[in-house]
Structure 1
Amino acid sequence: MKKILITGSSSYIGTSFEKWLRNYPGKYSIDSISLRNDLWKKQDFSKYDVVLHMAGIAHVSSDPKMEEMYYKVNRDLTIETAKKSKVEGVKQFIFMSSMIVYGDSTVEKRVIDNNTVPTPSNFYGNSKLQAEKGIKTLESDNFKIAIIRPPMIYGKGSKGNFPKLAKAAQKLPIFPDIDNQRSMLYIDNLCEFIRFMIDNKESGLFFPQNREYVKTSEMVKLIADVHGKKIILTKLFNPILKVIGFKSELINKVFGNFSYDQSMSLYKENYQIGDLRKTIELTEK
């Protein structure tokens, strides 16, 4: 039985992963701890095979007053947790980084491949990248480090931009039809991917995503369909959005382009267990 410790007891991915492993009774044992105070430093890590590090600040903020906190939590705390894991004999450390290390979405089509160099555009992305660099120096034959850079994650109970789009899909009669391309990742697909990381004792950089790219307007229409709502997609607003709208951070997040080359996300086992329509239905129902 694999013994797993999840840091970040209230994290969306962590709690979802714990639920997912109930599909495999008897194979895994999971505990979770909060790193919000120093009590975790007294926790015995030696009894765990894997530490799944989920603790961190998950949202993007442009408030300069938050910069120090981002580095303290996302970088320094990650490195400190990895060091403790290694010293106490944990065999594998899995760090949930982010696609945001490559910067922001763009007006023009943008596909990240294996040659793309990370260029964070804010201290959230840079704090994640600095954490990656810090923990990689700890890797050894007896201490494997797997770093996952997922795109936008969605699923039942998810936070961030997806639930906002879901609400818009149920209320708006029309929605802009802009041709964009985004990588996304359904939470159960991610959970199955993490399970394979653990089973196969993986180390390295990983880029899981759904099998299909997402066009925002088509996804919104799909959400509306699931709720029995009608929404009309229109290109009427496209000139305005393209000229003025992409200067807005919000508009860029919704309609910008940000995707991984699909070849980066291939794995020897199938973790992409749900297609877009099925996963939207599971999320919204």
Structure 2
Amino acid sequence: MKVVLTGATGFVGAPLLRRLLADGHQATALTRDDGGALPADAARRVVGELGPDLDCGDALDGAEALIHCAARAHIMDDPAADPLAAFRRVNTEGTLALARQAARAGVRRFIFVSSIKVNGEATRPGRPFTAKDIAAPADAYGVSKAEAERGLLALADETGMEVVIVRPVLVYGPGVKANFHSMLRWMQRGVPLPLGAVNNRRSLLAIDNLVDLLVTCLDHPAAAGRVFLAADGEDVSTSGLLRAVARALGRPARLIPVPALVLTALAALVGKRDVARRLCDSLQVDITDTTTTLDWVPPVDMDTALRRTAQHFLNKETH
């Protein structure tokens, strides 16, 4: 199958591109410039920045499927003067410009990597998010993804192009950056953390499981027109995750049992309320619809994925 991929040099796109090639697909990476290494057997087409003025030229001609991973990622303390406008330009307007060109080029299926933030920021105990929930994004990034989803589904109705939407939770794996990388560094250095009493529940997603799900969505007949939540299917507390990461690193977990309410109050005093919420709140997803509709089971368990993540981190730290 001829597959076009955006975000092919990123954390999700790079292993996805390798998997597509390993499975025998003819893969073309759409990139904004000629930077970033690609496998020798992958084609590259430079199309510029993702936005409303995107022009793919003939790069999509002959493609049967397009997997759209590129996005303006969510970041803490966004420096943009108008974060919502910045996110909309790339994640909403850029996505829809790409999709309209894909439909005109005859692309049969458009797979959009969205975000669980379309559902919201947190869940109540025993009430995980589902794909049928009404969208309730709480920040600019989530709003931009939700608007892109609505636009894609409308375009599918208009053109007949099959749209598949995948909403991942926090993705981790070899090469993970941002907060997860910071957590690896804290545990490797044995930094004491006041998180030993946090008994929330969080869903996570190993990069290998996300890649496998996206590949499954390429040609599964039941995927068209559907929204799928993506996770490992193994929920864990923040304290449990830290202990699991420490084991994977071969280090002790130095966790101090400070009540979550105290942590949240102290964080608010120093302007870090959002950080405390991410650490203490629950965010669970129910992937039953994903697994039953696609006859799919996450191929990698959390402990194995954490060991691979930790080993990659340690290799980088020592070289």
Give TM-score, length-normalised by structure 1. 0.90
SS in 2 for 1:124: helix
- Alignment of 1:270 with 2:296, yes or no, is yes
- Alignment-derived partner of residue 192 in structure 1: 212
Q: Which of 167, 172, 180 is matched with 2:200 structurally?
A: 180
How far the C-alpha of 1:114 sits from its partner, in A, is 4.4
- Alignment-derived partner of residue 43 in structure 2: none
Return 193-202 or 82-91, whichever deviates more: 193-202
Q: Which of 132, 140, 164 is matched with 1:123 structurally?
A: 140
Indicate conservation of the 8 Å contact 1:173/1:230, yes or no. no
Where do residues 54-73 of structure 1 align in structure 2 (5 Å cutoff)?
A: 54-61=69-76, 62=78, 63-73=80-90
- Alignment-derived partner of residue 68 in structure 2: 53
Residues 119 and 39 of structure 1: CA distance in aligned 2, closer, same or farther (over 3 Å): closer
SS in 2 for 1:233: coil
- Alignment-derived partner of residue 165 in structure 1: 183
Residues 242 and 106 of structure 1: CA distance in aligned 2, closer, same or farther (over 3 Å): farther
Q: Which of 87, 103, 111 is matched with 2:104 structurally?
A: 87
Q: Which one-letter code corresponds to 1:147 in the other structure?
A: I
Identity rate, percent: 24
SS in 2 for 1:206: strand
How far the C-alpha of 1:90 sits from its partner, in A, is 0.5
Return 262-271 or 126-135, whichever deviates more: 262-271
How far the C-alpha of 1:257 sits from its partner, in A, is 0.7
How far the C-alpha of 1:20 sits from its partner, in A, is 2.3
Provide the C-alpha distance between the structure 2 equivalents of 1:175 and 1:273, rounded to a whole number of angstroms.
Answer: 33
Residues 125 and 281 of structure 1: CA distance in aligned 2, closer, same or farther (over 3 Å): same
Provide the C-alpha distance between the structure 2 equivalents of 1:32 and 1:40, rounded to a whole number of angstroms.
Answer: 15
CA RMSD after TM alignment:
2.3
How far the C-alpha of 1:176 sits from its partner, in A, is 1.3
Provide the C-alpha distance between the structure 1 equivalents of 2:116 and 2:131, rounded to a whole number of angstroms.
Answer: 13
Residues 205 and 225 of structure 1: CA distance in aligned 2, closer, same or farther (over 3 Å): same
- Alignment-derived partner of residue 244 in structure 2: 222
Q: Which of 137, 143, 146 is matched with 2:161 structurally?
A: 143
Report the count of equivalent residues. Answer: 282
How far the C-alpha of 1:21 sits from its partner, in A, is 3.0
Provide the C-alpha distance between the structure 2 equivalents of 1:114 and 1:51, rounded to a whole number of angstroms.
Answer: 22
How far the C-alpha of 1:175 sits from its partner, in A, is 4.5
Return 252-261 or 136-145, whichever deviates more: 136-145
Residues 225-279 of structure 1 show CA distances to partners (whole Å, capped at 9, x for unaligned) of: 1222111333235441144447711121122211112424424433411111111
Give TM-score, length-normalised by structure 2. 0.81
- Alignment-derived partner of residue 208 in structure 1: 230
Indicate conservation of the 8 Å contact 1:132/1:147, yes or no. yes
Residues 32-69 of structure 1 show CA distances to partners (whole Å, capped at 9, x for unaligned) of: 01243467422331211111112210123555433222
SS in 1 for 2:56: helix
Q: Which one-letter code corresponds to 2:195 in the other structure?
A: P
Residues 142 and 236 of structure 1: CA distance in aligned 2, closer, same or farther (over 3 Å): closer
Residues 255 and 265 of structure 1: CA distance in aligned 2, closer, same or farther (over 3 Å): farther
Structure 1 unmatched ranges of 5 or more = none
Provide the C-alpha distance between the structure 2 equivalents of 1:149 and 1:3, rounded to a whole number of angstroms.
Answer: 24
Residues 162-220 of structure 1 show CA distances to partners (whole Å, capped at 9, x for unaligned) of: 11221122221455121011111100001111111013142111112102112111111
Return 230-239 or 186-195, whichever deviates more: 230-239
Residues 43 and 254 of structure 1: CA distance in aligned 2, closer, same or farther (over 3 Å): farther
